[in-house]
Structure 1
Amino acid sequence: MRIPTSLTIRQQSKVLEIAFDDGAAFSIPFELMRVYSPSAEVMGHGPGQEVLQVGKREVGINGVEPVGNYAIKPLFTDGHESGIFTWDYLYKLGSEQETLWQDYMQRLHAAGFVGDVGRESRTVLPGTPIKAISGCGHKH
């Protein structure tokens, strides 16, 4: 298991900076963390049950709670607080950022959304199913 040597929340730039004992260091955007949260609310309870997250560009992190010696639980400003991010998962998010962003943008486009604002695209043909949920299920 990779162990972080430093972890910093950058509120203004909305990134989590994390460095690991193998010398790797990443700046992981809060938005990427939120849309790839390892929670059941996002990932579902099995393959094919993922819930597309939209409108998360401006999401922030109010705080971070440690989970044992192996993970953190970010407290996102949209009320999402159930994702436990292990060190290995944060390493994956950091090292695979480009691929994960491309996959996320493709899924948004396929669902008929422009960018991440949660609005249907005018190019979506009538009758095209839109399977996306904005938010995380919490009522505010």
Structure 2
Amino acid sequence: MARPWPETLDFSSADKMLRVRFDDGHAFEIPFETLRVESPSAEVQGHGPGQKQVVTGKQGVGVKAAEPVGRYAVRILFDDGHDSGLFTWDYLYGLGESTR
């Protein structure tokens, strides 16, 4: 079975939300704050089980840019300087499901 593939990624600065639609019909709205505090970077997730860092104070975080990484992910550059997380399509899908 094929994994869901993103059809659109819309970063809305006005409401600080990523709207992403996948080819399986699912569409999600993921707040920028969620993207930042759940970043898949080692800085946030740690280097092993039980090392995840709690990130707070990101309610107003914005997105300055988003860059494709190959055909499997996007790197999000946040306005607080964080830019080391690679958000794979599977990871974004999972975040979207968890924010419903």
TM class by shorter-chain length?
A: over 0.9
Please name the residue that 1:74 is paired with. Answer: 76
**Unaligned 5+ residue runs, structure 2?**
none
Residue 11 (structure 1) shift: 0.3
**Higher strand residue share:** 2
**Please, what TM-score do these two structures have when normalized by structure 1?**
0.69
- Tell me the matched-pair count: 98
Please name the residue that 2:36 is paired with. Answer: 34
**Max Rg structure:** 1
Residue 2 (structure 1) shift: 1.4
One-letter identity of the residue aligned with 1:27: E
Indicate the percent of aligned positions where both proteins have the same amino acid. Answer: 55
Q: Secondary structure at the match of 2:67?
A: strand
Once the two structures are overlaid, the 10-residue window that deviates more, 79-88 or 89-98, is 89-98
**Unaligned 5+ residue runs, structure 1?**
99-140
RMSD (Å) for aligned C-alpha atoms = 0.7
Residue 96 (structure 1) shift: 1.0
Q: Distance in 2 between matches of 1:97 and 1:9?
A: 16
Q: Distance in 1 between matches of 2:85 and 2:32?
A: 13
1:17 aligns with 2:19: yes
Question: How far does the alpha carbon of each residue in 1:42-96 deviate from its partner, in whole angstroms, 9 at most, with x for none?
Answer: 0000011111101000000000000000110000010000000000100000011
Q: Secondary structure at the match of 2:91?
A: helix
Q: 2:4 aligns with which of 2, 5, 8?
A: 2
**Please, what TM-score do these two structures have when normalized by structure 2?**
0.95
Q: Distance in 2 between matches of 1:35 and 1:52?
A: 7
